[in-house]
Structure 1
Amino acid sequence: MNERTQPQFSLDAIEKENLGETVYTRLAEALSRGRFAPDARLTIRDLAQSLGTSVTPVRDAILRLIQDEALVQKSPREVHVPVITPQRYREIRQIRIKLEGLAARESVLKAGPQDIEHLRGLIERNELAIAQKDWVEALELNQTFHFALAEIADMAVLRGILNRLWLQMGPLIAESYPFGGRVMIDHHYAILKAIEAADPDAAEQAIASDIGDAGMLIFERLTARHGTGN
């Protein structure tokens, strides 16, 4: 498999039924999975062409994503992926640690054998993707693993909140993932082990370590870009 150092933007054309919601979902998934880099320039016309739609549903989806703080408007025809400040990143990271820690605790109480095997499979596939330097696949599996905890916990409201946070985090995680090495996945094993052992405290601590350790790498890149730690 060819090495890719930066996730590439590519979206499949979609059907016309429920077009507006589908376009929003497709673009939201692309953001949360890091398909767009920070400060990437997106035009409504290019997105519509890639998705095989008219500009209207894309424009509507863009407006929703601006409200979600996942995109910023630069002109009537152009939007950008935001460049998040270190201060904003620290705040989101703190929130993620609390909320994903809750998801991890609850998943321990509700996980069955199939859930555990699903998580194990995601880790194994992520290992393979990292070994092959397939960062698009690795990033998608990383996000799927994190969201799976909220799904196993059966916490739909929490999943919705995390969706919005990951819209902002996806581009940052994608930018750092190829440079993260083992730190980007090692704690997933500890999370799985805690769930198997029915230990909610260990699961919460493992997810906090996962977000915190990867967050240090992301934070270093952010401060280098902004030239400040504030």
Structure 2
Amino acid sequence: MSILLQLSSENLSSRVYGRIRSALMDGEFAPGERLRIKDLSSQLGTSITPVREAIFKLVSERALEMRAATAIHVPILGPDDLRQIQLMRLALEGAAAERACTLMTPADLDRLAKIQEEFVIAAAKDAALAAKLNTDFHFGLLRAAQMPLVTATVENFWVMMGPLLRTFHNEMPRREISSRNHKHYQVLRALRKRDPQAARVAIQDDIRWSDVIIAWLEKQNAA
């Protein structure tokens, strides 16, 4: 194989990996859902090989699990898994929100505010879109903090919990999610005031909403 062909193959595998990973993060797959390599290759318009390579990489990262040779599933996180993720997000996203206060431009802030307005509309009628917009808000804040290593680490957690966040938006009462008291508005107010401590507290309060999912999981396990 020539170097150019090898590079082309590697780039395709990387793109497929990125697409499936983003789909997990955005909640396009449900917890426990079975993924079939043939179906994914058809949807992505590629051969089976790059999809298989991407799947194996995601399995190694615990973003997917392989229960048998051909049985690939989206993991179902337990309450303890989510508590650990929450603990790390509180520290890392809290620090990022604090730093974003000093670095965020007016254009960054306008983009975040627009995402939040779209989120409020989606939360009342489209759980999948609301989950994606929620992700966009958090990563818009992370990008504004200009902490690429922190962002990459947090992204791994979001890939793992993306399917559960979809459950969150399905289970949470619509009026509470779409309320003007939503914690994202507190984040935006703190950013406008350039108040790092308030921004940290607001995003951490938002992250603690995952207690709702933890309680739901515990109830399901008890049943």
Give the distance between the partners of 2:135 and 2:27, measured in 1 at CA: 9
Q: CA deviation at 1:19?
A: 1.1
- How far apart are 1:54 and its partner, in Å? 0.9
Q: Say whether 1:100 aligns with 2:100.
A: no
- Contact kept in structure 1, 2:120 and 2:177, CA below 8 Å: no
The amino acid across from 1:206 in the alignment is A
Q: Which residue of 2 aligns with 1:171?
A: 163
Matches within 5 A, 1:25-104: 25-104=18-97
Counterparts in 2 of 1:215 and 1:66: CA distance versus 1, 3 Å: same
> Per the alignment, do residues 219 and 46 of structure 1 end up closer, same or farther by CA in structure 2, a change over 3 Å counting?
same
Q: Is the 8 A contact 2:123 2:169 kept in 1?
A: no
Structure 1: runs of 5+ lacking an equivalent:
1-14
Q: Alpha carbons of 1:159 and 1:183: their partners in 2 closer, same or farther (altered >3 Å)?
A: farther
Alpha-carbon distance in structure 2 between the residues aligned to 1:99 and 1:19: 32
Q: What does residue 221 of structure 2 align with?
A: 226
Q: What residue is the counterpart of 2:110 in the other structure?
A: 117
Deviating 4+ runs (over 3 angstroms): 181-185
Match of 1:215 in 2: 210
Displacement of 1:222: 1.1
- Of 191, 195, 202 in structure 2, the residue corresponding to residue 199 of structure 1 is 195
User: What's 1:146 paired with?
Assistant: 138
Alignment TM-score, normalising by the size of structure 2: 0.90
The whole-number CA distance in structure 2 between the counterparts of 1:223 and 1:203 is 30
- Out of 137, 154, 158, the position equivalent to 1:162 is 154
**Residue 142 of structure 2 contacts residue 151 of structure 2 at CA under 8 Å; is this kept in 1?**
yes
Shift of 1:108: 0.6
* Residues 156-180 of structure 1: CA deviation (Å, up to 9, x unaligned): 1111111100011101110121232
Root mean square deviation of aligned Cα:
1.7
Query: Per residue, is there more helix in 1 or in 2?
Result: 2
Partner of 2:220: helix, strand, or coil?
helix
Deviation at 1:25, TM superposition (A): 0.7
CA deviation map 1:47-77 (0-9, x unaligned):
1111111111011101111121110111111
Unaligned 5+ segments in structure 2 are 1-7
Task: Pick from 4, 15, 34 the counterpart of residue 22 of structure 1.
Answer: 15
Question: Structure 2 CA distance, aligned partners of 1:65 and 1:20?
Answer: 12
* 1:70/1:148 CA distance change after superposition, 3 Å: same
Asked whether the 8 Å contact 1:44–1:78 carries over to 2, the reply is no
Q: Is the 8 A contact 1:34 1:170 kept in 2?
A: yes
Match of 2:30, SS state, is: coil
CA contact (8 A) 2:112 2:137 kept: yes
1:10 alignment partner in structure 2: none
Call closer, same or farther: CA 1:34–1:50 in 2, change over 3 Å: same
C-alpha separation between the residues in 2 aligned to 1:137 and 1:92? 23
CA distance in 1: counterparts of 2:100 and 2:109, whole angstroms: 10
Q: Which residue of 2 aligns with 1:3?
A: none
Corresponding residue for residue 190 of structure 1: 186
The size of the alignment, in residue pairs, is 212
SS in 1 for 2:35: strand
